[in-house]
Amino acid sequence: MPDLVRAADARAVMAVPGLHWHDNGQATLSGPLLGYMTRLDEAILRGATGLDAVALRPSPCLPPGVPERCGYLDSFPHHATMATPMASGAARNSEGRALLTPAACYHVYPLLEGARLVVPAVYTIRATCFRHEECFLPLERQWAFTMREIVCVGSNEDVARFLETTRATVSGWCQMLGIRVAARQATDPFFDPKSSPGWLMQRLLPLKTELVSGDLAISSFNAHQSYFGDIFDIQQGGCSAWTGCVAFGLERWLLALIRQHGREPGRWPAPEALI
């Protein structure tokens, strides 16, 4: 989207009733807009429950050591937001800092550390995620945003089946909500294109697919291979487990609905119809 068109779109979005935009990249939702996002998330949660997913409620911060083990701070220090206590000068001591969640699924893998799975494990998790970027746009690119994920941990066949099934399901949901989408290959924020061979691997292998409405990515389907299984010693059938996740940027779903159906959530298709 050209810059002038994007700026005009942002101004129009900021005028949507129930959206209170803050220039530092954060939004407060209220009224029917908030109500719709809550109902949409509940519908996705019901869909995850149908996959026998275990629901998790995460801390705002990642567990100690997880960002370093996963390489997030090496690849994306410029996106990281640290929570730092001010008492006793801890703000000047890196040992007193914790990383605010950049992606919801990072909370899942430490829970399974050392596990020897007999059957696949499926989890669903909703988190407020933090990524500090160069510029912010309401509902599209925010410092703090809401992510719902469904995560599968198992064999490569388990993960491939999970991603294929959820992609078909979510594409159907978009059709039911009247959101026109297309699938495109993309790269994953787990990897830095300037320094990480993981980025090149994802360009060569179809490991990440996004559903995009126009130029707006609203969901992604991510195959991590055995990346997290190796790090956290998670095994199934004597081999490192594979992991995959489907992610929903809930504010972006609202933006796609606004662009498709206008500013009044009461006129949007009901999310309860999804399940």
Q: Are strands 208-213 and 144-154 parallel, antiparallel or unpaired?
A: unpaired
Domains of the chain: 3-274 (3.30.930.10)
| Cα separation, 134 vs 235, whole angstroms | 39
| Cα separation, 265 vs 258, whole angstroms | 8
* pLDDT score recorded for residue 205: 47
pLDDT at 90 over 80: no
Nearest CA among 227, 247, 241, 239 for reference residue 129: 247
Question: Per residue in 102-123, is it b (16+ CB within 10 Å) or e — as a string?
Answer: bbbbbbbbbebeebebeebbbb
* pLDDT score recorded for residue 69: 93
- What is the rounded average pLDDT of the residues 270-274? 94
For 34-82, write each residue's pLDDT tens digit.
999 999 999 999 999 999 999 999 999 999 999 999 988 888 888 999 9
pLDDT at 234 over 70: yes
**pTM of this structure:** 0.90
pLDDT at 193 over 80: no
* pLDDT score recorded for residue 84: 84
For 115-148, write each residue's pLDDT tens digit.
999 999 999 999 999 999 889 999 999 999 999 9
- What is the rounded average pLDDT of the residues 258-272? 96
- Using DSSP, state whether 57 is helix, strand or coil: coil
